[in-house]
Amino acid sequence: MKKILIIALCLYSSLGFAQRIKGSDTVLPLSQKEAEVFGKKNKGSKLIVTGGGTGIGFTALIDGNTDIAMASRKIKLDERLKLQDAGKAFKEVIISYDALGVVVNPANKVSQLTREQLEGIFTGKITNWKAVGGDDLKIVVYSRETSSGTYEFFKEHVMNKKNYASAVLNLPATGAIIESVSQTKGSIGYVGLAYLEKDVKALKVSFDKGKNYIAPSMATAKNKTYPITRPLYFYYLTKSEKSLKPFIDFTLSAEGQDIVEKVGYVPLN
């Protein structure tokens, strides 16, 4: 997806004011489309959808600057405690699932990597593609910034909770990773399934030390054979549930879940 709008407007809210959704750039395209379709069916007011990262979404929820926080990871303990200290009870809803694709420049002849090799690349132990069967070329590593839920998820599930190398280049949005990888021959990064496109090449990955390599796709995410999959979330304050319920229920409905798959995410069922 070449262009991800930062702000999407649609009509919604029986109370006559804008409901706000903010957070994960991974969840952003899905929420925008759900909001667009929901707005056509509910011509009342507007729903404003903005990205920025999962951490930004939780901060906005804590500070009262959003009604729904989009997240590509579960809420952290410190975020939970801040809401608790503020007397703000909240709810968590899984709205879909996502496969996280590891991408390289199309000119790169490497087509598959093990989890251990990915760990080595992102922690800085492997710095040349020659070490993993590629050309004698320096590896340029792109990652999301630290406020991103995708950054946290990749660190925990792919890097075995090890730290990113200091040379890793952190980018503020998924679209920036796509653009950078597409323009840099020796580069590697990671993006959500809905962002995969011909300008980058998705690698097959193995989580069983090279016995089986699986490519990210809707089919492999659905049948759970692709190992880097995760739930995507909406978080909101319990006190706001009544006004937000129509939109959340729509997202979870058969029609909403059909949108999930059309946009490129994995439906709940």
| pLDDT exceeds cutoff 70 at 268 | yes
How large a percentage of the chain has pLDDT more than 70?
A: 93
Give the whole-angstrom CA distance, residue 220 versus residue 230. Answer: 13
Do the strands 204-206 and 112-114 form a parallel or antiparallel pair, or are they unpaired?
parallel
pLDDT in tens, 32-55: 999 999 999 988 768 999 999 999
Beta strands in the chain (DSSP E): 8-10, 19-23, 47-50, 68-71, 90-104, 112-114, 140-144, 169-171, 187-192, 201-202, 204-206, 229-237
| pLDDT exceeds cutoff 70 at 153 | yes
pLDDT in tens, 86-134: 999 999 999 999 999 999 999 999 999 999 999 999 999 999 999 999 9
pLDDT in tens, 4-29: 333 343 433 344 458 999 999 999 99
pLDDT score at 19 = 94
- The length of the chain is 269
How large a percentage of the chain has pLDDT more than 90?
A: 86
Domain ranges of the chain: 8-97+232-263, 98-222
* pTM of the model as a whole: 0.84
pLDDT score at 43 = 83
pLDDT score at 17 = 56
- Using the Cα atoms of residue 21, residue 23, residue 27 and residue 32 in order, give the sign of their dihedral: positive
pLDDT score at 18 = 81
CATH domain 98-222 topology: D-Maltodextrin-Binding Protein; domain 2 (3.40.190)
Give the whole-angstrom CA distance, residue 124 versus residue 234. Answer: 34
pLDDT score at 62 = 97
pLDDT in tens, 157-202: 999 999 999 999 999 888 999 999 999 999 999 999 988 988 999 9
pLDDT in tens, 58-94: 999 999 999 999 999 999 999 999 999 999 999 999 9
Q: Which CATH architecture has domain 8-97+232-263?
A: 3-Layer(aba) Sandwich (3.40)
**CATH fold match for the domains 8-97+232-263 and 98-222:** yes
pLDDT score at 154 = 96
C-alpha to C-alpha distances, 162 to 118, 139, 144, nearest whole angstrom? 11, 19, 16
pLDDT score at 14 = 40
Q: Across all residues in the chain, what is the average pLDDT? A: 92
Q: If we measure between CA atoms, which residue out of 48, 94, 83 comes closest to residue 237?
A: 83
| pLDDT exceeds cutoff 80 at 261 | yes
Q: Which residue has the tokens 């009604």?
A: 67
pLDDT score at 45 = 62
| pLDDT exceeds cutoff 80 at 203 | yes
Number of neighbouring beta carbons within 10 Å of residue 182: 19
| pLDDT exceeds cutoff 50 at 244 | yes
